Chains A and B, each alone.
Chain A
Amino acid sequence: MNIFSANSSANSLFQKIEQVRRRRSKVHDTNITLAHGSGGKAMRDLIDDIFVSNFDNPILSQLEDQATFNLTSLMQQGDRLAFTTDSYVVDPLFFPGSDIGELAVNGTINDLAVSGAKPLYLTCSVILEEGLPIETLRRVANSMQAAAKKADIQIVTGDTKVVHRGAADKLFINTTGIGVIRPGVAISAHNIQPKDVVIINGELGNHGTAILIARGELALETDIESDCQPLHDLVETILDICPEIHAMRDATRGGLATVLNEFALSSNVAIRVNEQSIPIREQVKGVCEILGLDPLYLANEGKLVVVVGRENADKVLSAMQSHPAGKNSCIIGEVISSPPGIVLLKTIFGAERIVDMLVGDQLPRIC
């Protein structure tokens, strides 16, 4: 016998309670507390209010411990999966041109895209420092959703942890992504051959400079914004016109110099880039001159380095230039056979010098 049937007024009260208990709740706190990571009601409310309602999609709203998706539909889109993960710990959380949320979505999209994959699903794990304003988290989640929507991908599962004040810096995000690679595409840093051409999709160093300035310690003022943008649509445009791309990577931390060094080492070739062809904004040059930094090592969050056979260079370049994320694309260098594993820069005199891997962080210098 149903216990609620004994008394009809009690029955309706219990039903009301039950309705309230199941209702999606709002978070009423102003700051994150340890309760928001404890696994209880406060955590569920937080997840519901901030993430589930925001990222709203049928896979996530199942609220299982995992996201599940149909293999058949994936297999219709390609013959291999691409799978990647990245953590975002940028400080400050909000900076000119972007924020940690958009960065966490676009960064993982780009890591998938440079394999030639179409990005489909992302996870979102957050580590929150006790005391973080809920409003900050909401802003970041909104920004993640906006980025996901713009890129036409879904955030399908996630995790929330709260740590004691001081055990983490405000907010860390990890996103893991899955994408599908279309048949016939074989992009790898090992595929580069002499006579290949190196193309970049626009000016370098904007993100790294924007972050450096946003920290405020150097008291410099510019209107440089982060170049944070998703690159998968640009990659798709490139692959539509030329599936035989040899290598492709997004130049993030360590900048163009690091990507080129990785390419040269992986394929055992030399890469020679032309200083005068490398697009860099005047203000970025200014910051570099003031602080003694090299723009080739500055971080980017929307820059694609493409290596392609000479015979395909023109059509790839014009396809890139026709795309909004590649308007300022240009050829910056070429691949040669020797000295293997070395990146060379042709300076404005026509002299050459080595562009090496960065040892540590680039530090501002006075001398």
Chain B
Amino acid sequence: MKYVDEFRDPHKAEALLWQIEKLCPILEKPIKIMEVCGGHTHSIFKYGIEEVLPKAIELIHGPGCPVCVMPKGRLDDVIAISQNPNVIFATFGDAMRVPGSKTSLLQAKAQGADIRMLYSPLDSLKIAKDNPDKEVVFFALGFETTAPSTAFTILQAAAENINNFSMFCNHVLVIPALQALLDNPDLQLDGFIGPGHVSMVIGTDPYQFISRQYHKPIVISGFEPLDILQSIWMLLQQLVDNRCEVENQYNRLVEKAGNKVAIAAMNKVFEVRETFDWRGLGDIPDSGFKIRSEYAQFDAEHKFTIPNLKVADHKACQCGEILKGVLKPWQCKVFGTACTPETPIGTCMVSSEGACAAYYKYGRFSQVVKERETGKERVKV
């Protein structure tokens, strides 16, 4: 596949690793890099990137999985809407297994809720048109990459006057989350790998505060293995040169100003919520979108009575520490024992791109090898 296979070429990967290895000794200390985005976490594990990197580089897996950060209370709201007998509830597949305080959408479906898994929110408009006597609700979630698709779908519903359609809006924003992370005194990071597809929408300017206020380098990165390796190399070069800038490795897709059409659609349909509760991270001001009152008829929060309760995270779960990069997944007390993909306690274990699930699925082996090499106690696999 064009623009995919070229960026997985093992020979070029080897060359990048060779460059990275040359820079490590100059830095004279272990380097901690956070990949903010769950898509990067997924690629890192899928291709075994951590294992080929020099030991001096440690990757910290950040909070960039929109499914993982969805708090239990919001999922309870989702499930309550889906259980309404007149509702056809449409969602991306990712959200199906995420547990609320009692149950998940998958279980709600088994108990009789009409839940459909879709690839595109636009497809839910078709369901609404085909089922005029039902209320169709779409579970809109994701970062700024996905938010424009929700906005366009609402604009189209308005244009076509589709009255039996609404969206339950849970879009979250990367920049306020990064700010919250950077304000955390526990956090010890040398630099960031920035989210490529979010940046394709919002551009590179919104990251300037990271270099200016917090003096950390960030490289916006693509998702193929060569993209990630090149971004790590670029970060190390910044560190060697004592620079902290916003750099763009993914310039085949990301422009400085982002995508104006997408930004305009988001501004038209959404306003920023005063605060949004992130699982593990708690309330972060200005970190989510809600649907503007002009489009209230397409807002499921207006159309349905929802429990709207805040539910505390499980006590044993250390998702918060993991999302902040303070703990590695395998350092959590319940990782791999009480908390597994079959019986997830925290959402980091539920979504396939959650840091814990990715570690459980792909990373256990390399962790065993690493522990053996360093002579530390072997983690339980």
Using an 8 Å CB-CB cutoff, how does the interface string of B319-363 with A read, 1 for contact, 0 for none? 000000000000000000000011000000001110000001111
Decide if A187 is an interface residue (CB 8 Å cutoff).
Answer: no
Q: Is the CB of A364 within 8 A of B10?
A: no
User: A289 touches which one: B4, B45, B117, B351 (CB < 8 A)?
Assistant: B4
Contact partners of B364 in chain A: CB under 8 A: 354
Q: Which residue of A lies closest to B342 (CB)?
A: A359
Q: Is the CB of A365 within 8 A of B352?
A: yes
Q: With A285-B1, A350-B52, A351-B47 as given contacts, are A363 and B117 in contact (CB-CB < 8 Å)?
A: yes
Q: Which of B14, B361, B363 has the most CB of A within 10 A?
A: B361
Q: Is the CB of B117 within 8 A of A364?
A: yes
Q: With A348-B47, A351-B49 as given contacts, are A365 and B118 in contact (CB-CB < 8 Å)?
A: no
- Give the interface segment out of A152-160, A178-186, A258-266, A339-347: A339-347
Q: With A356-B361, A364-B92, A367-B66 as given contacts, are A349 and B119 in contact (CB-CB < 8 Å)?
A: no
Interface size range of chain B in the complex: 35 or more
- Give the interface segment out of B93-101, B182-190, B200-208, B277-285: B93-101
Complex Cα gap A363–B362 (Å):
18
Contact partners of A352 in chain B: CB under 8 A: 48, 51, 365-366
Q: Is the CB of A363 within 8 A of B96?
A: yes
Q: With A365-B93, A365-B352, A366-B142 as given contacts, are A351 and B52 in contact (CB-CB < 8 Å)?
A: yes
Decide if B225 is an interface residue (CB 8 Å cutoff).
Answer: yes
Decide if B8 is an interface residue (CB 8 Å cutoff).
Answer: yes
Q: State how many angstroms separate the Cβ of A248 from the closest Cβ of chain B.
A: 26
Q: Which residue of A lies closest to B96 (CB)?
A: A363
Complex Cα gap A215–B67 (Å):
26
Q: With A289-B4, A351-B51, A359-B341 as given contacts, are A364 and B93 in contact (CB-CB < 8 Å)?
A: yes
Q: Which of A218, A349, A359, A366 has the most CB of B within 10 A?
A: A366
Complex Cα gap A289–B225 (Å):
14
Complex Cα gap A344–B47 (Å):
12
Complex Cα gap A289–B8 (Å):
14
Q: State how many angstroms separate the Cβ of A320 from the closest Cβ of chain B.
A: 28
Decide if B317 is an interface residue (CB 8 Å cutoff).
Answer: no
Q: Which of A289, A290, A351, A360 has the most CB of B within 10 A?
A: A351
User: A348 touches which one: B1, B8, B366 (CB < 8 A)?
Assistant: B8
Q: Is the CB of A217 within 8 A of B117?
A: yes
Decide if A291 is an interface residue (CB 8 Å cutoff).
Answer: yes
Q: Which residue of B lies closest to A354 (CB)?
A: B365
Q: With A354-B364, A367-B353 as given contacts, are A349 and B48 in contact (CB-CB < 8 Å)?
A: yes
Q: Is the CB of A363 within 8 A of B97?
A: yes
Complex Cα gap A219–B120 (Å):
9
Q: State how many angstroms separate the Cβ of A222 from the closest Cβ of chain B.
A: 14
Q: With A366-B92, A367-B39 as given contacts, are A290 and B119 in contact (CB-CB < 8 Å)?
A: yes
Decide if A282 is an interface residue (CB 8 Å cutoff).
Answer: yes
Q: With A286-B1, A290-B119 as given contacts, are A351 and B93 in contact (CB-CB < 8 Å)?
A: no
Q: Is the CB of A219 within 8 A of B123?
A: yes
Decide if A149 is an interface residue (CB 8 Å cutoff).
Answer: no
Q: Is the CB of A342 within 8 A of B51?
A: no
Contact partners of A359 in chain B: CB under 8 A: 341-342
Decide if A353 is an interface residue (CB 8 Å cutoff).
Answer: yes
Contact partners of A344 in chain B: CB under 8 A: 365
Decide if B87 is an interface residue (CB 8 Å cutoff).
Answer: no
Q: With A217-B117, A349-B49, A349-B225 as given contacts, are A367 and B65 in contact (CB-CB < 8 Å)?
A: yes
Q: Is the CB of B342 within 8 A of A347?
A: no
Q: Which of A339, A353, A356, A360 has the most CB of B within 10 A?
A: A353
Contact partners of B116 in chain A: CB under 8 A: 217
Q: Which residue of A lies closest to B357 (CB)?
A: A359
Q: Which residue of A lies closest to B118 (CB)?
A: A217
Using an 8 Å CB-CB cutoff, how does the interface string of A250-291 with B read, 1 for contact, 0 for none? 000000000000000000000000000000001001100111
Complex Cα gap A360–B93 (Å):
12
Complex Cα gap A195–B96 (Å):
41
Q: State how many angstroms separate the Cβ of A274 from the closest Cβ of chain B.
A: 12
Q: Is the CB of A339 within 8 A of B66?
A: no
User: B48 touches which one: A282, A351, A360 (CB < 8 A)?
Assistant: A351
Decide if B368 is an interface residue (CB 8 Å cutoff).
Answer: yes
Using an 8 Å CB-CB cutoff, how does the interface string of A294-313 with B read, 1 for contact, 0 for none? 00000000000000000000
Q: Is the CB of A350 within 8 A of B119?
A: no
Decide if B256 is an interface residue (CB 8 Å cutoff).
Answer: no
Contact partners of B106 in chain A: CB under 8 A: 360
Contact partners of A290 in chain B: CB under 8 A: 119
Complex Cα gap A290–B1 (Å):
12
Decide if B113 is an interface residue (CB 8 Å cutoff).
Answer: no
Q: State how many angstroms separate the Cβ of A91 from the closest Cβ of chain B.
A: 14
Decide if B38 is an interface residue (CB 8 Å cutoff).
Answer: yes
Using an 8 Å CB-CB cutoff, how does the interface string of B89-129 with A read, 1 for contact, 0 for none? 00011101100000000100000000011111001000000
Complex Cα gap A350–B47 (Å):
9
Q: State how many angstroms separate the Cβ of B138 from the closest Cβ of chain A.
A: 12
Q: Is the CB of B10 within 8 A of A349?
A: yes
Decide if B83 is an interface residue (CB 8 Å cutoff).
Answer: no
User: A282 touches which one: B1, B123, B361 (CB < 8 A)?
Assistant: B1
Complex Cα gap A351–B43 (Å):
13
User: B351 touches which one: A291, A342, A353, A367 (CB < 8 A)?
Assistant: A367
Decide if B46 is an interface residue (CB 8 Å cutoff).
Answer: yes
Q: State how many angstroms separate the Cβ of B126 from the closest Cβ of chain A.
A: 9
Q: Is the CB of A367 within 8 A of B67?
A: yes
Q: Is the CB of B368 within 8 A of A339?
A: yes
Q: Which residue of A lies closest to B120 (CB)?
A: A219
Q: State how many angstroms separate the Cβ of A194 from the closest Cβ of chain B.
A: 17
Contact partners of B362 in chain A: CB under 8 A: 353-354
Q: Which residue of A lies closest to B229 (CB)?
A: A349
Decide if B19 is an interface residue (CB 8 Å cutoff).
Answer: no
Q: With A349-B52, A351-B49 as given contacts, are A363 and B8 in contact (CB-CB < 8 Å)?
A: no
Q: Is the CB of B119 within 8 A of A360?
A: no
Decide if B13 is an interface residue (CB 8 Å cutoff).
Answer: yes
Q: Is the CB of B361 within 8 A of A354?
A: yes
Q: Which residue of B lies closest to A345 (CB)?
A: B48
User: B94 touches which one: A285, A350, A360, A365 (CB < 8 A)?
Assistant: A365
Q: Find residues 360-379 in chain B having any chain A CB closer than 8 Å to their own CB.
A: 360-366, 368
Known A347-B46, A347-B48; further 11 A-B contacts with Cβ < 8 A? A220-B119, A289-B4, A352-B366, A353-B48, A353-B362, A354-B362, A359-B341, A363-B117, A366-B119, A367-B66, A367-B351
For the complex of A and B, 4 pairs with smallest distance between CB atoms: A351-B48, A363-B93, A364-B93, A359-B341
Question: Can you list 24 A-B contacts with CB-CB less than 8 angstroms, sorted by A residue number?
Answer: A217-B116, A218-B119, A219-B123, A282-B1, A289-B1, A339-B368, A347-B46, A347-B48, A349-B48, A351-B47, A351-B48, A352-B365, A354-B362, A354-B363, A359-B342, A363-B93, A363-B94, A363-B117, A365-B92, A365-B94, A365-B352, A366-B146, A367-B65, A367-B142
